[in-house]
Amino acid sequence: MDVVGIYCRLSDEDKNKINKGDDSESIANQKLMLTEYAINQGWHIYKVYDDDDYSGADISRPRFNDLLRDAEAGKFNIVLCKTQSRFVRDIEILEKIVHNKFAEWGIRFVSVIDRADTNVAGNKKARQINGLIDEWYLEDLSENIRNTFQTKMKNGQYVGSFSPYGYKKDPSDKHKLIIDEPAAEVVKLIYKLYLEGNGTHNIAQILYQKGIDKPAIYKKNNGSKLQIPNLSDNRLWGHTTINRILRNPIYIGILEQGKETTISYKNHKRILKDKSDWFIIEDNHEPIISKEDFYTVQELLNNKRRVGRLENKPHIFATKVRCAECGGTMIKCTTKGNAPHDTRYHYLRCKNYKQSNGVICNFSNRINYLDLKKAVEEELDMILKSYVTNDNVINMASLHINIFDFNGEVKKLKQELHNIEQQSLNQKRTLTNLYMDKANNVISESQYNIISEGIESELSKIDRRKKDISEEIEKLEVLKEKQINIENLIKNFNINDGITHEIVLETINYIEIGIPKEDGKREITIHWNF
């Protein structure tokens, strides 16, 4: 007696058709049709397997795999579908399962509408042709979906399945982001804690101690359908989550999409695209963090700030101190004498010298932490007192303090941008002349293609550099606005109790530590932000 396993499948695309009045593809109708067909053939029905909302190219379909396991176990000897494409659309899987495994297991494959039947001689070529047509369909469908998504991304529409932490999808427009107030307050707290000198590990602990749910738990508790395997219910934040939030420009209103793609519609391995191919839309939605705070955080992260503990306070000069000999960062080190009651000695040391054993920097540059703190406090105190004493004095003092030249840096970048734009114009003119030469038969088609490819490649590099320079100019403009004048410094800061990390962050761009002179003194050059 012949025993049959019936397979039915419905995808999203089929559902759209059904909504338009065509219910011929519904699961219920497929079951009815196939059950009636099996009975008319005198076959005994072992089981009906159905997958809802799955593509024919997806081999992870749960009921599809149940059917394969039962087929291998010999539970039936016929597999029945409405069409071959209901069972599988991938020609490689068609060959592997229908033409090989089923033959090995003694399984006959039958589809009603397109008359596929592995028991019929000469039917194999028809099945293979149908398989190719199905595969072309999938390829075209994949390209259409990709183009649709790219159009949406170009128009600033959010296409992610789930909104980033701090935002939610607008109920009236699922492609628009609006602020999720409770989560946005946590994002603001994370930036505030980092700017106050806390590292990502420390911030994670603080959020946990405050009883704040990590993003995955928060989304789960607020009705999100986000599925994360092995998600635990503990609220412990990860430092990598904190770092991602601190790095994401989504929080200043910039939407970056299309960073990754897949190798093909059949190979879903993710590959990172060049940044020039991303879809970046500025001022796309309401920001949660100010640009000045965001770019300040990026500067600190780029310098790989280490927050140490000195006298139970954050390391106030983290990322701000450089070796004048090599320009490298000077990092905090601690040592202690051998005696039980010896106190710990804190100092800053050239990172390049320490890590390269003198190869990158040949000078063991180091400075006592307390000596540096004292020098900075004395110079800042002098500037403040001079200003209070005499308005004219500050003008003289300004000539002798090292002010980071934001305007000068922006001017240099704008000049470079102008030069690059001129290069771009020249290359485009060359390309135009080259085309005219080809049209007038001065050069051959192959010569034109070789030369034009080189020019196009150069233009692509120029465009990427233009974009990088524009982003750098914007960042410097934001940081320039953050500069404070000395009058505001007096109003907002009080250094009677000593300088703090917040004051260093606001007032100092960087500090250079020079090599000791013959008298043992070293030059400490402070580049102030005001």
Residues of the chain within CATH 3.90.1750 domain(s) are 167-302
Contact predicate 329/319, CB 8 Å: yes
Torsion angle of C-alpha atoms 107, 108, 111, 114, degrees rounded to 10: 130
Q: Any idea which fold 167-302 has?
A: Hect, E3 ligase catalytic domain fold (3.90.1750)
Task: Give me the phi and psi of 393, to 5 degrees please.
Answer: -65, -35
Residues of the chain within CATH 3.40.50.1390 domain(s) are 3-152
| Residue 210 burial (10 A CB sphere; 0-12, 13-18, 19+) | exposed
DSSP letters of 261-329?
A: EES-SS---EEEPPGGGSEEETT-S--SS-HHHHHHHHHHHHTT----EETTEE-TTTTTEEETTT--B
| Residue 326 burial (10 A CB sphere; 0-12, 13-18, 19+) | middle
Residues near 439 by beta carbon (within 8 Å), at least 6 away in sequence: none
Task: Give me the phi and psi of 176, to 5 degrees please.
Answer: -115, 135
Q: What is the pTM of this model?
A: 0.45
Determine what percent of the chain falls in helix, strand and coil, rounding each to the nearest 5: 50, 15, 35
Q: Any idea which fold 3-152 has?
A: Rossmann fold (3.40.50)
Structure tokens at 279: 């879809």
Residues near 363 by beta carbon (within 8 Å), at least 6 away in sequence: 323, 325, 326, 350, 353, 515
Q: How far apart are CA 260 and CA 374, in angstroms?
A: 50
DSSP letters of 72-105?
A: HTTS-SEEEESSHHHH---HHHIIIIIIIIHHHH
CA 427-430-436 angle, 5° bins: 145
Contact predicate 503/493, CB 8 Å: yes
Residue whose C-alpha is closest to residue 179's, from 250, 238, 256? 250
pLDDT tens by residue, the chain, 530 residues:
799 999 998 875 554 444 433 444 578 888 888 898 898 889 999 999 998 878 767 778 899 999 999 999 999 999 999 888 888 877 778 888 888 899 899 999 988 877 888 888 766 666 566 655 555 555 655 566 667 777 777 888 888 878 889 999 888 888 888 999 999 999 999 999 988 878 888 888 888 888 888 888 888 887 665 555 445 556 678 888 899 999 999 999 988 888 776 655 555 566 777 777 788 888 889 999 998 889 888 887 876 555 444 444 557 888 788 888 888 888 888 886 665 665 677 888 888 787 777 777 788 888 888 889 888 888 888 877 766 655 555 455 555 455 556 677 778 888 888 888 888 888 888 888 888 888 888 888 888 888 888 888 888 888 888 888 888 888 777 766 655 555 555 555 566 667 877 778 777 888 999 887 777 778 889 888 76
Q: Are strands 44-52 and 3-10 parallel, antiparallel or unpaired?
A: parallel
